[in-house]
Amino acid sequence: MWEAAAAGFSAMGSEARLKVLKTLVRAGESGLTVGEIQNRTDIAPSTLAHHLRFLSAGGVVEQEKIGRSTINRANFDELRKLAQFILSECCADEIGKAANDG
């Protein structure tokens, strides 16, 4: 899981990619075309394509070709796994310390 988590977090590692991902999260399961993402983010088409490839390679965005359009969706399952991974040991040191102090 460490390797997958590192890839997912790395994919989100820029302000522009976070902006794209948040836009896709807002769009929900229906997703958005590249043109719709561009209209909502004001990111240049060639730069947007680069960011979408990076997000897709990191597993946090899924792309589906429908005719001549590509629908981009946030990969909610992967995003939940990343959130669970980073929070899985939340406060473990505090809990252990409280148990030892008691």
Candidates 64, 63, 58, 65; CA nearest to 79 is: 58
Report, as an integer, the average pLDDT of 56-84: 96
Residue 74 has pLDDT above 70, yes or no: yes
Give pLDDT tens digits for 13-60: 999 999 999 999 999 999 999 999 999 999 999 999 999 999 999 999
Residue type, 97: K
Q: Which domain holds residue 14?
A: 2-101
Q: Number of structural domains, the chain?
A: 1
Q: How far apart are CA 95 and CA 79, in angstroms?
A: 26
Q: What is the CATH number of the domain that holds 64?
A: 1.10.10.10
Q: Which of 97 and 13 is assigned the larger pLDDT?
A: 13
Residue 78 has pLDDT above 70, yes or no: yes
